[in-house]
Each structure stands twice: as structure tokens, then as C-alpha cells.
Structure 1
Amino acid sequence: MTLKVGVILEGTIINITNFGAFVEVEGKTGLVHISEVADTFVKDIRDYLKEQDKVKVKVLAVDDNGKISLSIKQASVPKKTCKPADIDWSNNSKPKQGGADFEDRLSKFLKDSEERFQDLKRHQEAKGRGGYKKS
């Protein structure tokens, strides 16, 4: 099989560096950048991989110079599949949170926000009257 973009293959890790891992696939060597090792932040690649590990990789790119970009995280099958939640639409009651519905909470937020804005405005005006004079 030739190396084509999007193909998932199995390879062997032959070298690990601080920036990624070199993987041999079909007699050629490609690079899995550290950002393509896992879905989470990878500080030390050696926490995830070691030399001679067999890994599945996805071919991301093959340039004219023969450089091969690979990804381990894109080759893995998603572990969780999201399923829509079952919602009972026949129940017409409004959800309550803290004893107030959304409109009440929104109006309280707007009132509090307006009061804070007015306090800030008064503070800025008072600061401007007693501050330094521009020359």
C-alpha cells in the first residue's frame, strides 16, 4: 500500500525526541509531532510512548521532499460517542433554579449590572475632579 494522505497504518516507533516521535511505516520514516500524540496536552512525550511501541498512525501529509507527517491521535477511534439526551417534551413546567426562572434571574442581573455601572461612573467622575490638572 502506498502512503496516501488520510490512510491509517500501523508503524513502529524508532526514535523519540522532545518534539515528537519518528515512526517507521512501510519501510519509510515519518514524524508524529508532539501535538499529534494525544488529545490532551503532552508535556513529556515519553509519558505516552516508548521506542519499539507498535502504534496506529494516520498519514497527514507527504511533501515533495519525502517528509511524512503522521498523527496518532487522529488515527484512534473516538472512545465516547455523543448521544442526544432523551428529553420529555410533554412536560410543560418551566425549569426552576434557585427558586427563580430565567427571566427573573436576567432582570436581577441587569439591575445589579446597571447599579455597578453607575457606581463606577460616579467614582470616575469624582476621581476626575480631584485629580491632576492637564497643562
Structure 2
Amino acid sequence: MMFHIGDVVEGIVTGVQPYGAFIQLDDHHQGLIHISECRSAFIREIGDELVVGQTVTVMVLDIDIYSEKISLSRRAVLDGYDKAAIDKERINQDYKFTQHHYWTNQHLAIGFETIAKSGSIMINEALERLHQ
């Protein structure tokens, strides 16, 4: 993925929902600005703040590597991100482990071992159910 936490990029609003706005970052990547990240003040209707087709500058807050979902913030850019240097290396180091959300059992490293051990039992059970 070409985006990193802390990057400031431009995108186009492609959809607006009550909970946030979808932003097209490039031909292959889309992100979401949650309504709370739209601006610092309270927003009753996000449609009052963003409209489809609008170009916005946003900061990448988080990237879920597994699903490739990108969380964006417009508030961080509006609040003057250019007033202080962004330490991208520190941000990426701090979130090095928390940004990977794998919803699998890959950390167990068992592979197909369980299927190989119980494969014949599962097949026999399936055949019994078929013939009932």
C-alpha cells in the first residue's frame, strides 16, 4: 500500500452517509472520514460540511492492512497540521503493531494440520448426513 499513517493527501468525496464521508484517494484506494474527524466543532449533518465531488485535504489516521480500510481526518488538517512538523517515522513506529488487524488464526501457525488429522472424520459425518 502506498499510503502511510500521517500522510496528508487530497481526495474527492464520493459518498456521504450519516456517519461519515467516503473519499476516493486514487484509482484503487478509498478512505472514510468519520463525522467526528470532519472538523473540531459539532456537526449535526455531515452533508452541511461535505458534498459529493468536493476535493478535500485529509490526513491518514489508520490503515487496516488486512481489509485495506483507511481512516482519514479532515479535522487534523483544518486545525493547522502545517504549524508543527509531523514525525511520520515516530507515528509509524508507535502504531507498527496496532495497525495490523488480522481476523484469522494465522498466529497459531497450524496451517492445514487440523484438516489432515480430522479430514476422514469430517467426510464420514458429511456422508452420514447425506444418506439420512
TM interval, short-chain normalised: 0.5 to 0.7
**Deviation of the 1:77 alpha carbon:** 4.8
| TM-score after normalising by structure 2 | 0.57
Higher helix share: 2
What SS does the corresponding residue of 2:77 show, helix, strand or coil?
coil
Aligned counterpart in structure 1 of residue 67 of structure 2, from 65, 68, 88: 65
Alignment correspondent of 1:74: 76
- In 1: Cα distance, 2:79 partner to 2:34 partner: 19
In the aligned structure 2, how far is the partner of 1:52 from the partner of 1:39? 22
Which secondary structure state, in structure 2, belongs to the residue aligned with residue 23 of structure 1?
strand
How far did residue 2 of structure 1 move? Answer: 1.4
Bigger radius of gyration among the two: 1
Q: Segments of 4+ in structure 1 off by > 2 A?
A: 76-79
* Alpha-carbon separation, structure 2, partners of 1:62 and 1:78: 22
Query: Quick one: distance in 2 between partners of 1:54 and 1:60?
Result: 18
Q: Name the counterpart of 1:103.
A: none
* Partner SS, residue 35 of structure 1: helix
Q: How far apart, in 2, do the equivalents of 1:14 and 1:65 lie?
A: 19
Q: Could you give the per-residue CA deviations for residues 89-132 of structure 1, whole angstroms, max 9, x where no partner exists?
A: xxxxxxxxxxxxxxxxxxxxxxxxxxxxxxxxxxxxxxxxxxxx
The answer to which structure, 1 or 2, has the higher relative contact order (CA under 8 A, 6+ apart) is 2
Stretches of structure 1 that go unaligned for 5 or more consecutive residues are: 82-135
Find the counterpart in structure 2 of residue 89 from structure 1: none
Aligned-partner residue type, residue 71 of structure 1: S
Amino acid in structure 1 at the alignment position of 2:15: N
How many angstroms apart in 2 are the aligned matches of 1:65 and 1:48? 28
- Structure 1 SS opposite 2:6: coil
Secondary structure of the 1:31 match is strand
Gap regions ≥5 residues in structure 2: 84-132
- Distance in 1, matches of 2:77 and 2:59, equals 5
Per the alignment, do residues 39 and 77 of structure 1 end up closer, same or farther by CA in structure 2, a change over 3 Å counting?
closer
In angstroms, what is the RMSD of aligned CA positions?
Answer: 1.9
Secondary structure of the structure 2 residue equivalent to 1:52: coil
Secondary structure of the corresponding residue to residue 5 of structure 1: coil
Aligned partner of 2:55: which letter? K
Q: Report 1:1-135 matches (<5 A).
A: 2-27=2-27, 28-63=29-64, 64-78=66-80
Structure 1 partner of 2:88: none
> Which residue identity lines up with residue 68 of structure 2 in the other structure?
G
